[in-house]
């Protein structure tokens, strides 16, 4: 299985307010006709805005990178009818410059120095942005029953990590969960979490999935990390 990596230019932040708003990117999307390419532009712009002010730099060039998009999901919350957008990013400095060699059953992963990579780096993180803004124009894929203020939902999210080895799966606890960016005491419609996973000694053929949970344990969305 090949790993799709999308890159973008570095984003510099201005203290106090974002350099770009996702609403501006929504207008850009509409002007480009809503094509698939525009969806990628919008997604990356949203990730860039979410990363502003947190010293994250996009790397460009062939191979894997230290920051890689993991996708996005959109759901509608009931009864509030609020739209919840979730975007994922995988952070792993040790994978910068790694390359896939061959494809299919003979696929391998080698480091930037040409050394075969047989195990996951000891740690990596899922960086997850959850927003009540309409940052993704795709239609919602699901509805979720969530009572109360949607902004309070963003402050109380939980995360569950699943590890897959072929047809077998098991659950592991995140090593740490940290809310970064805007402080919790500030009333805001967007939150960013870093979920760190201890993957020491696990083979690169394993697959990881992070599930985003409400306080009640309802699964709101999920993102995967697959190397081979």
State residue 136's pLDDT score.
Answer: 75
Q: Considering the domain boundaries, does residue 137 fall inside one?
A: yes
Return the minimum-mean-pLDDT range out of 23-32, 66-75, 84-93, 174-183.
23-32
Q: Considering the domain boundaries, does residue 49 fall inside one?
A: no
The arithmetic mean of pLDDT across residues 38-58, rounded, is 43
Return the minimum-mean-pLDDT range out of 5-14, 68-77, 127-136, 167-176.
5-14
Q: Considering the domain boundaries, does residue 136 fall inside one?
A: yes
Q: Considering the domain boundaries, does residue 72 fall inside one?
A: yes
Asked whether 93 and 32 are in contact (CB, 8 A), the reply is no
Half-sphere exposure of 54 toward its Cβ, with a 13 Å CA cutoff? 22
Instruction: Give the DSSP letter string of 167-194.
Output: TEEEEE--SEEEEESS-TTS--SEEEEE
Q: Considering the domain boundaries, does residue 21 fall inside one?
A: no
State residue 105's pLDDT score.
Answer: 73
Domain range enclosing 75: 63-226
pLDDT band at 222 (very low <50, low <70, confident <90, very high): very high
The arithmetic mean of pLDDT across residues 120-137, rounded, is 92
Q: Considering the domain boundaries, does residue 199 fall inside one?
A: yes
> Number of structural domains, the chain?
1
Q: Considering the domain boundaries, does residue 143 fall inside one?
A: yes
pLDDT band at 106 (very low <50, low <70, confident <90, very high): confident
């Amino acid at each position: 299985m090949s790993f799709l990596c999308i890159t973008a230019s570095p984003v510099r932040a201005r203290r106090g307010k974002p350099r770009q708003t996702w609403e501006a990117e929504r207008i850009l999307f509409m002007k480009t006709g809503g094509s698939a390419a525009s969806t990628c532009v919008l997604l990356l712009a949203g990730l860039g805005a979410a990363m502003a002010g947190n010293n994250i730099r996009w790397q460009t060039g062939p191979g894997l990178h230290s920051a890689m998009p993991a996708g996005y999901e959109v759901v509608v919350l009931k009864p509030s009818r609020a739209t919840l957008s979730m975007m994922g990013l995988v952070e792993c400095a040790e994978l910068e410059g790694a390359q896939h060699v061959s494809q299919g059953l003979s696929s391998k992963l080698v480091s930037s120095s040409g050394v075969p990579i047989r195990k996951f780096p000891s740690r990596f993180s899922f960086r997850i942005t959850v927003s009540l803004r309409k940052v993704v124009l795709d239609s919602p894929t699901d509805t979720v029953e969530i009572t109360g203020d949607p902004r309070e939902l963003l402050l109380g999210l939980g995360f569950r990590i699943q590890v897959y080895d072929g047809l077998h799966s098991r659950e592991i606890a995140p090593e740490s969960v940290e809310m970064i960016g805007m402080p919790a005491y500030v009333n805001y419609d967007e939150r960013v979490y870093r979920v760190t996973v201890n993957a020491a000694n696990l083979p690169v053929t394993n697959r990881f999935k992070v599930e985003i949970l409400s306080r009640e344990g309802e699964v709101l969305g999920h993102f995967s990390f697959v190397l081979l």
